[in-house]
Amino acid sequence: MNENIDMDKIRELKRFAGRIRQETIKEISAFGTGHVGGSLSIADLLAVLYGHEMNIKPEDPQWADRDWFVLSKGHSAPALYATLALRGYFPMDWLNTLNRNGTNLPSHADRLKIPGVDVTAGSLGQGSSVAAGVALGLKMDGRNNKVYLVIGDGESQEGQIWEMALFAAQHRLGNLIAFMDYNGLQLDGYCQDICSLGDAAAKFKAFGWQVVDVSDGNDVPSILQALETIGSKSGKADGQPSMIVLHTVKGLGWSEIAGKPKSHSISINKQERDQALAEVQTMIDAA
């Protein structure tokens, strides 16, 4: 483990992940329904990125030296919105407007509406290529900004992911750091029953990427360790792109749906919300 990261920092990031989960649940339940499962599975990653890893200035979202973040599995935007609000990119009460008429927070993140959202994505596969283009543009300009990309395992059924994978390796986008939220589920059920991705780490290795396979992708120290392994802070813009495969649990934090099919886009009533919030609070208290 990185000597610079002490136990206090890990505890802080775990609590941040819990807060992201709680705000995500409140945000979706305020509207009544939404993409709960895939939002909860990336909460720990978002906590690490926005609480430690990325070079950002919430008060200046367009800061030229910032690291870029691309949520290609765009339906998990509620978790990103919770993260951005908690970091102060926009007021917390925006979260109550998710998907309401005239909102700034639509189902899938929109760069034109939301401070801190660099890339519009949600039509699956597309954010990945835009992230590669951003990484290429930054590299052409000799800049040191990193591009952090999150794709899904279900999303990786899209051919565009693999076009991008070839392209990023060919153009040596060492400034592109991707994560796969490998939660094993998609809208219609288990990925392996529908169109199995198999060994994602081996596939990306074969495509020329630097890969780390994280068996518990919801574990904050494991995510930090993976970033250290790929040398995310010291890496050069010219080099292998990186893929960190996070084996996660869809819906983690709310036992009613965690790891189960039909956790993709569901409704949350008040009783369920209170139960889920209490469960997450237990996680936070135990951190």
Partner 1 sequence: MIERTLENERQEMRQAFCQCLLDLAADDERLILLDADLMSAIGTKPFQEAYPERTVDCGIQEANMIGTAVGLSLTGKIPFAHTFAPFMSRRAMDQIFISGGYSKANVKLVGSDPGITAMTNGGTHMSFEDMGIMRNVPSMTALEATDITMLKWMMSWLAQNYGMQYMRLVRKQCVKVYQEGTHFQIGKAVQVINQSGAEATIIASGICVAESIKAARTLDDEGIPVRVLDMFTWKPLDNQAVADAARQTGAIVTAENHNVNTGLGAAVSEAAAGSCPVPIEFIGVHDRFGQVGDQNYLAQEYGLTAKDIVRAVRKVVDRKHQYLQR
Of the candidates 244, 222, 247, the one whose C-alpha atom is nearest the C-alpha of residue 232 is 244
Q: Is residue 44 involved in binding partner 1 (CB under 8 A)?
A: no
Beta carbon of residue 170, minimum distance to partner 1 (angstroms, whole number)? 8
Q: Is residue 178 involved in binding partner 1 (CB under 8 A)?
A: no
Beta carbon of residue 205, minimum distance to partner 1 (angstroms, whole number)? 20
Beta carbon of residue 4, minimum distance to partner 1 (angstroms, whole number)? 30
- Nearer residue to partner 1 within complex by CB, 221 or 239: 239
Q: Is residue 142 involved in binding partner 1 (CB under 8 A)?
A: no
* Other beta carbons within 10 Å of 210: 19
Q: How many amino acids of this chain bind partner 1 (CB under 8 A)?
A: 33
Beta carbon of residue 68, minimum distance to partner 1 (angstroms, whole number)? 8
Judged by CB under 8 A, the residue of 3, 159, 270, 286 near partner 1 is 159
Beta carbon of residue 117, minimum distance to partner 1 (angstroms, whole number)? 10
* SS3 at position 177: strand
Stretch that binds partner 1, among 155-163, 223-231, 236-244, 259-267 (CB under 8 A): 155-163
> Within its chain, how far is the Cα of 153 from the centroid?
12
- Nearer residue to partner 1 within complex by CB, 128 or 263: 128
Of the candidates 29, 54, 40, the one whose C-alpha atom is nearest the C-alpha of residue 283 is 40
Q: Is residue 119 involved in binding partner 1 (CB under 8 A)?
A: yes
- Cβ-proximal residues to 2 (8 Å cutoff; 6+ apart), any chain: 224, 225, 228
Asked whether 27 and 90 are in contact (CB, 8 A), the reply is: no
Burial class (CB in 10 A: 0-12, 13-18, 19+), 245: buried
* Other beta carbons within 10 Å of 258: 18
Stretch that binds partner 1, among 33-41, 87-95, 120-128, 251-259 (CB under 8 A): 120-128
State the Cα–Cα distance between residues 286 and 180, nearest whole angstrom: 27
| Helix (H) / strand (E) containing 220 | helix 220-230
Beta carbon of residue 189, minimum distance to partner 1 (angstroms, whole number)? 25
Q: Is residue 151 involved in binding partner 1 (CB under 8 A)?
A: no
Q: Is residue 166 involved in binding partner 1 (CB under 8 A)?
A: yes
Q: Is residue 140 involved in binding partner 1 (CB under 8 A)?
A: yes
Q: Is residue 43 involved in binding partner 1 (CB under 8 A)?
A: no
Residue 92, CB-side half-sphere exposure with 13 Å CA sphere: 8
